[in-house]
Structure formats: structure tokens, C-alpha cells
Chain A
Amino acid sequence: MKKILAYLLMFSMAASLVGCSSSNNEEEVEEETICIAAAASLENAFEEELIAMFNEEYPNVTVEGTYDSSGKLQEQIEGGLEADVFFSAATKQMDALTDEDYIDSDTRVDLLENKVVLIVSTNSSLDLKKFEDITKAGSIALGDPASVPAGQYAQEALTNLNLWDEVNTKASFGTNVTEVLNQVAEGSAEAGVVYATDAASMPDKVKIIAEAPADSLATPVVYPVATLKNSKHSKTAKAFVEFLQSDKAIEVFEKYGFSKN
């Protein structure tokens, strides 16, 4: 019985790894499935509104989103993930994949901007007033700077503010920005650095203390989107990227806290 259960769990776990399953190419009524590899901070906007909106125009297309840190997605694409569109939270990962010839650079659009903010839990007893007060927290959640754009931006801002060394000793590195957000919401970390859009997704659990000071971030927090060269659905993928630039899509993004670049 335990063996059956163990096998069942094994298969279901293996199946859940397939974030973007390979698509069926059928002849006439073009039932298509495209795979969007998008930064974790985009998940809510996509899953709650944008994909449905896209389906109003293109009902025969199934959009499967896989969301994680842009670094992880870059790894997966390099490892063979059959994504059709890549929407990263920083230019670093997009540039890297472009250099490695995965990206159809004609389709690239540096579409959105986001803000980097310091957050605490709504139940927090800490008295933080500005971004630099992050050092008052006993434990801090950040994205792993090696792979999470939110972590990269946090590191850059804190380094420019001469606070990185101190923060680093108390920082827990999350594997993606949503994890960081949840860790602050749960209170495990007393403070964290995420995007304004993430903070806005949990207004009852976290509150924004301050934005990263304007002069601390030289790299603009820009989200580029592009289609992949070896996509088997490049027409539909390009249509999706076109859709993302449309007024009504931008309206949705702005609703979630992003701004047009």
C-alpha cells in the first residue's frame, strides 16, 4: 500500500515538474499550446487576467505559464525547456540568452518597469521609516543575487548605500521573489526586499516601508519580453508578445503595479 502510494507520489511529482508540456501539432483547427516562461512577479497578472484576455481573441490557443526566478528560467531554457516566450524581470537573463542565440531579438521589447521596495509584515513591531532602516531587522529575506533579479537589484541598491556587507550577514536568500514575499508575510524574516507589485498582491499581510532610493539603482528595473528562436509556434508567440503591448494589456499590468517602460 505504501509502495503504491510512494509510486503515485513519485509520478505526480515527476509530472508536476513538466511546467510546460510539449504541444500537439494538429492539422486544421490549430489547437495550439504555447509556453510562457515568465518571472515570478508576473504570475498574478498573467494567471488572473492576461491569459484569459488573450484567449478572448485567440480561443484556440492554450497558454501555459511557468513562473520562477528569471535565473532559474534561463537555466531551464538553456537546459532544453521548450518555451515560446520569455519574459524576464531583468535585462541580465534576456541578454545572456540572446548572446547564446536562444532569443529572436527582433521580437524583443523592454516592456515594463517595476519598483524595488522594502517590506515588513503587517504584524511587525519594527519601526522602520526609510529603505536604509533595513539594517534594523534581525533577519532579512532577499532574492538570491546570483539568480533572482529582485535580489540583484537589492544587492545593487544596498551596495551603493554601503549597507550590503551588514545586510548580507543576516540575509536569507530565496530562490525566487515570491518566496521572499511569503517569508516576510509569514514573519520568518523581519524584513525583505521585493517588487512593489509583489507587495501589492498581499496588502493585508505585508506593508511597504519605502522604495529603493532613486540614485541607489543604476540599473533600471526593466522587464524585457521576447520570443524564442526555436519556438515551434513563433506566429502565435509573436501574436502573444504583440498582445502584451496592447493598451488593454498595459492597463492590466498597471493595475498590478507595473509601469510601462
Chain B
Amino acid sequence: MDYSPLIVSLKTASFSIVITFIIGILAAWLVISRKNEKVKMILDGLFTLPLVLPPTVAGFILLYIFGVYRPVGKFFIDVFNFKIAFSWPATVIAAFVMSFPLMYRSCRGAFEQVDPNLMDAGRTLGMSEWKIFWKIQFANARPGVLSGAILAFARGLGEFGATSMIAGNIAGKTRTLPMAVYSKVAGGDYDGAYVYVAILIVIAFIAIVFMNYFAYKEGKKGKRK
């Protein structure tokens, strides 16, 4: 049994979740700290877009940005001599773009749930807005943020459409578990597909169970007994 798709998938998902985690939190902070409602809505729409678009459409857009003859792709080739398309980092880009909306929305929801009185209390104590965000909002929203991260991780693990467009399907390099499943099924090797499918289901299930655990902890928060 070829385990390389599992390794590629885990590598990709682990890398992308780190990036998604940081940028998702910052994006959520960016949106909730806007005073102008219109700007808030536009930013929110932009950040949520990959969630709504079919992955192949997102992949198409990514190809138009990072492809070899396209702006960013060409820049990387000319300046860094690095071809993004069909490279492993492209799988991380695809996974990040597709899982980012989940992280962003979970974080934003969690932050907005924090009792504003707590934050006002911080303001009366003279804390800067940034400190209030970290020490009060983020600290109280942690379970929600973590569950968002797990969701994003699982989404990054299951990413297929966008990945196949910019990263290709190179065994041991960019062939992720979902693509390995597709290849097996297209070739009629259902037995081979079963193994990969089982692995994916197990990992996804564990992710969901963890998510429920964190949601449970969040529910318990604030209850004295």
C-alpha cells in the first residue's frame, strides 16, 4: 500500500493550518475592528468567497494568479527561480485558500460572542485596543478559535479541486489522499480506494469529535458549578 498520499496530505494540512490559523485570526480581527459597516460586509464577502465557490473555480482563479505565465507565478520564476505550479507549496496554497474562510468565520463568530462588558472593563482600565483583543477577546474565544482551526485542518486535508488545478497530481509530491482516491476510482481499483477513503474518514471523524469537545468546553465556560 502506497502511503505517500497520506504523508503528502498530512504535510500539506499541517503546514497550511499554521498559516490559516494566524491569518484567519488576523482577518477576523481586521473585520470586527472596522467601524464602517460597508467595509465590514465587503471584507467579509471577500474572505468567505472561497467557501462559496466550487473548488474548481477557486482553483481556476489560483491558476490565473500563480500559473507559470501569470503575474505572481511569473514573478516567482523570474526573481526566485521557483515554479509554483506543480510544486508541493502549491498544495499548501490551495489548502490555505479553501480552508481560510472556515477559520475566519469561526474566529469572527467566537470573537463577537465575547461579552462586550468585559472589553469595556478593559477600556476603563486603560488597555490598548490591541491588548484588549488579545487578553480579553481572544482569550475568551479560545475554544471557538480552536474548533475553527480543527475544521480548517480537516478542510485542508480534504481539498481536491483547487489542488489538482495548481499542484497537479505527482506521486509523492503533490498527490494528496483525495486525489489518490479519485485516481483509484477512475482506474477501477476500488479496493485501493477503500483504504484511502477509510483513512480520510477516520481523520475527519476524529477532527469532528475534537470539535464537539471544544464546543462542549465552551458551553461549560462561565458556569460556576
> What residues make up the interface of A, taking CB atoms closer than 8 Å to B?
2, 5-6, 9, 13, 69, 71-72, 74-75, 123, 138-139, 141, 144, 146-147, 168-175, 183, 186-189
Contacts and interface: CB of A to CB of B under 8 A. Distances in A.
Interface stretch (B18-26, B141-149, B165-173): B165-173
Which 3 pairs across A and B sit closest by C-beta, in order of nearness? A146-B187, A187-B68, A172-B168
B63 interface: yes
B168 A139 contact: yes
Contacts of B178: none
A5 B183 CA distance: 31
B187 A71 contact: yes
Interface size class of B (residues with CB under 8 A): 20 to 34
18 contacts: A13-B54, A69-B186, A75-B185, A123-B69, A141-B168, A146-B186, A146-B188, A146-B189, A147-B183, A147-B186, A147-B188, A168-B171, A173-B170, A173-B171, A186-B63, A186-B85, A187-B85, A188-B67
Given A9-B54, A188-B85, A183 B188 contact: no
B85 A174 contact: no
Nearest to A124: B68
A43 B172 CA distance: 32
B67 A186 contact: yes
Given A72-B186, A138-B83, A147-B187, 9 more contacts: A13-B54, A71-B188, A139-B168, A171-B171, A175-B164, A186-B63, A186-B85, A189-B86, A189-B168
Interface residue SS majority, chain B: loop
Nearest to B183: A144
A75 to B, nearest CB: 7
Interface string B170-196: 111011000000111111110000000
B171 A188 contact: no
Contacts of B14: none
Contacts of A174: 169
Interface residue SS majority, chain A: mixed
Contacts of B170: 139, 170-173
Contacts of A186: 63, 67-69, 85
B165 to A, nearest CB: 9
B52 interface: yes
B169 A9 contact: no
Contacts of B164: 175
A255 B36 CA distance: 61
A146 B183 contact: yes
A139 B188 CA distance: 26
Contacts of B52: 2, 5-6, 9
A127 B174 CA distance: 26
Contacts of A9: 52, 54
A71 B189 CA distance: 11
Nearest to A13: B54
Contact of B169 (A72, A144, A169): A144
Contact of A172 (B83, B174, B185, B188): B174
Contacts of B85: 186-188
B86 A172 contact: yes
B46 to A, nearest CB: 13
A139 B169 contact: no
Contacts of A138: 83
Most B Cβ at <10 Å: residue of A5, A186, A188: A188
Nearest to B57: A9
B128 to A, nearest CB: 34
A187 B169 contact: no
Contacts of B172: 169
Contacts of B169: 144, 172-175
Contacts of A171: 170-171
